[in-house]
Amino acid sequence: MSPVLLALDLAGTFVFALSGALVGVRNRLDVFGVLVLAGLTGLGGGMVRDVLIGAVPPATLADWRYLLVPLVAALVTFRFHPGLGRIERHINYFDALGLGLFCVTGATKALQHGLNPLAAALLGMLTGIGGGVLRDVMAGRTPLVLRQEVYAVAALAGAAVVVVAWSAGYQAPWISAAGAAVCITIRVLALRYSWEIPRALSSD
Amino acid sequence: MSPVLLALDLAGTFVFALSGALVGVRNRLDVFGVLVLAGLTGLGGGMVRDVLIGAVPPATLADWRYLLVPLVAALVTFRFHPGLGRIERHINYFDALGLGLFCVTGATKALQHGLNPLAAALLGMLTGIGGGVLRDVMAGRTPLVLRQEVYAVAALAGAAVVVVAWSAGYQAPWISAAGAAVCITIRVLALRYSWEIPRALSSD
Amino acid sequence: MSPVLLALDLAGTFVFALSGALVGVRNRLDVFGVLVLAGLTGLGGGMVRDVLIGAVPPATLADWRYLLVPLVAALVTFRFHPGLGRIERHINYFDALGLGLFCVTGATKALQHGLNPLAAALLGMLTGIGGGVLRDVMAGRTPLVLRQEVYAVAALAGAAVVVVAWSAGYQAPWISAAGAAVCITIRVLALRYSWEIPRALSSD
């Protein structure tokens, strides 16, 4: 894996782990429970991707750098969160960062394993939404991805940037950065301006 | 995969995706959330099966026909559902169709991958119940399979038809149809006549 | 697999299946629903481990001994539980036994598949907590592992005993027993004396 991709993947793991740890602290879990939730959120999406593309055992399980990251995120959250009241609204922004980084690294890893562009874009999206879904299911919350917000579509857009560029022969680091930026921008704007995708009309 | 099996598998994907989309519309998700839930419900059971038999990456991820089907199911549901009130009771019937088709294709694919009859029957059942379990867990409902209804046992019966016939040397298309028919019949009769399997007696 | 490890693994499957069946009976599921929940709880953790280390199809799917065990556990629970009121507090003790046995067999199988010590310890923990997490998510309960109790840390300690001994060149049966005993002791003491790991301070 290129150093740029590794750095993005570790950064994505860190911010997703933070979002998991914040949910854990919010739910008043103990320090080890917070650590488990941070680890699942940070590493879960990538593991689902690795299992689906047959890259087992997942590299993250055996790489101390990937394991250190949720540990640090959990301890930082556990120790330094200034107050539960101020935390809640930040979770969605950390989550947006993780989403942007993972949709890019997920799509890239799938392309490197020879999957076709369509499958790679979907795996990028799945890598992005997987950790958060595990976090929310474990914590008994309706997964963020299913609420009325622009979420999975942002991850798909970010992954699509990488896949389209790859199909056209481009694989430079700035393309990864551009893909992540597209996803994060869409997601943050959606949060900021409460963008909504149409829902089905109710007739009752 | 034989054309008959492919057609059954696509049909099963469609009806399961419909059931997922209906749950999504009922929960007032936006159009992309409905699409994600339709995709998970339609493709989730088969992916779990593929991961367990080592057929990764799952063919469905890379085959545009499998990806088109939940898209169509979600859009159809989103656009044409006549009213939420009338939808609810239909979900269980769409679900029954998907269950019947998937228990057959799941068992067949497991047999083709060299699994023994017992494992193939269980994988057929798992393929049938997997998508619905993912749908219900994501939507925060108690999985249908755990409620007091004849459900997993119908899938196991349908899979058993295919496995027993295969063990006896028969692999014709009408056997697939018979297996699906057995499962769907059991399930629909159970819904219609509120069949119940005994529960443990409560002594308190 | 050595006879000792096989016996421990089957025993772990049985007690986890019992804990799943008890939750099922408590939730008033029918006999087949109880069986499904017993099977998922007893076999789920091992399947997650097998998928992550690439040992697919999981041996448990094709081995009648592993399939017989949840069946017996479910029927025993279904028939002989003396009263729902008395059951509840036993669930945690059966769960502790399963946790202790699975963290040991999970870590050992991971080591046998060539994973490094750190990954093997984590997979041991994951094997231990996986079945219970599936059980609780399916039953709509907050997973035990996330509640304020010493849980995953006990599994990690038990797995660490096996991994450290293996790294030092020891693989005798008594080491498996010692690892299980460490995990079970920690967990049972934690239940008995309501041990708690610190939670984050709330400032609001």
The neighbours of chain A, by the rule of 3 or more Cβ pairs under 8 Å, are B, C
Rounded to a whole number of angstroms, the distance from the CA of C77 to the nearest CA of chain A is 27
Rounded to a whole number of angstroms, the distance from the CA of B133 to the nearest CA of chain A is 13
Which structure tokens are listed for C96?
């502790």
Which residues in chain B are closer than 8 Å to A52, comparing Cβ atoms? 47, 51, 56-58, 61
Q: Is B186 on the interface with C (CB under 8 A)?
A: no
- Give the pLDDT band of residue C204 (cuts 50, 70, 90): very low
Angstrom distance (rounded) from CA A14 to CA A32:
17
Q: Is B2 on the interface with C (CB under 8 A)?
A: no
pLDDT tens by residue, C60-110: 887 888 989 999 998 888 777 765 556 667 778 888 989 999 999 999 999
- pLDDT for the residue numbered A129: 92
Greater confidence (B39 vs B32) lies with: B39
* Partner residue facing A140 (CB), from C142, C196, C202: C142
Q: Is C172 on the interface with A (CB under 8 A)?
A: no
Question: What is the average pLDDT value for chain C, to the nearest integer?
Answer: 86
Angstrom distance (rounded) from CA C168 to CA A126:
40
The CA-based angle C145-A41-C16, given to 5 degrees, is 30
Is the bond preceding A57 in cis, omega lying within 30 degrees of 0? yes
For B135, nearest residue in chain A (alpha carbons):
A146
State mean pLDDT over C17-35: 85
Rounded to a whole number of angstroms, the distance from the CA of B182 to the nearest CA of chain A is 32
- Residue holding tokens 């409902």? B141
* Partner residue facing C30 (CB), from B197, B202, B204: B197
Residues in a beta bridge with C199: A30
- Residue holding tokens 């782990």? A17
Q: Is C68 on the interface with B (CB under 8 A)?
A: no
What is the count of residue pairs from B and C with beta carbons less than 8 Å apart?
A: 86
Q: Cβ separation of C28 and B143 shorter than 8 Å? A: no
In the predicted structure, residue B95 carries a pLDDT above the cut 60 = yes
- Give the pLDDT band of residue A2 (cuts 50, 70, 90): confident
- pLDDT for the residue numbered B47: 92
Q: Is C150 on the interface with A (CB under 8 A)?
A: yes
Amino acid at residue number A165: A
Which residues in chain B are closer than 8 Å to C37, comparing Cβ atoms? 146
Q: Cβ separation of B33 and A198 shorter than 8 Å? A: no
pLDDT tens by residue, B64-94: 889 899 999 988 887 777 655 566 677 788 8
For B113, nearest residue in chain C (alpha carbons):
C57
Q: Is A61 on the interface with C (CB under 8 A)?
A: yes
- pLDDT for the residue numbered B44: 92
* Contact residues for C131 (Cβ-Cβ < 8 A; gap 6+): C16, C20, C40, C41, C42, C43, C44, C45, C46, C98, C102
Angstrom distance (rounded) from CA A159 to CA A179:
6
- pLDDT for the residue numbered C52: 92
For C140, nearest residue in chain A (alpha carbons):
A140
* Partner residue facing C29 (CB), from B113, B137, B199: B199
For C122, nearest residue in chain A (alpha carbons):
A61
Q: Is C116 on the interface with A (CB under 8 A)?
A: yes
pLDDT tens by residue, A76-102: 887 777 655 566 677 788 889 899 999
Which residues in chain B are closer than 8 Å to A147, comparing Cβ atoms? 29, 33
- For A21, half-sphere exposure in the C-beta direction (CA atoms, 13 angstrom radius) is 29
Which structure tokens are listed for B160?
């058993």
- Residue holding tokens 């107050």? A83
Greater confidence (C142 vs B43) lies with: B43
ipTM of the complex: 0.80
Which residues in chain C are closer than 8 Å to A33, comparing Cβ atoms? 145-148, 152, 197
Question: Which DSSP state fits B148?
Answer: S
Residues in a beta bridge with A199: B30
pLDDT tens by residue, A103-145: 999 999 999 999 989 999 999 999 999 998 999 888 888 787 8
- pLDDT for the residue numbered C62: 75
Q: Cβ separation of B118 and C62 shorter than 8 Å? A: yes
Alpha helices in chain A (DSSP H): 3-26, 31-53, 59-62, 64-80, 84-112, 117-138, 152-167, 173-192
Q: Is B31 on the interface with A (CB under 8 A)?
A: yes
Query: Is residue A163 a contact partner of residue A103, using CB atoms and an 8 Å limit?
Result: no
Angstrom distance (rounded) from CA A15 to CA A97:
7
- Angle of helix A173-192 relative to helix A3-26, nearest 10 degrees, comes to 30
Query: Is residue A152 a contact partner of residue B96, using CB atoms and an 8 Å limit?
Result: no
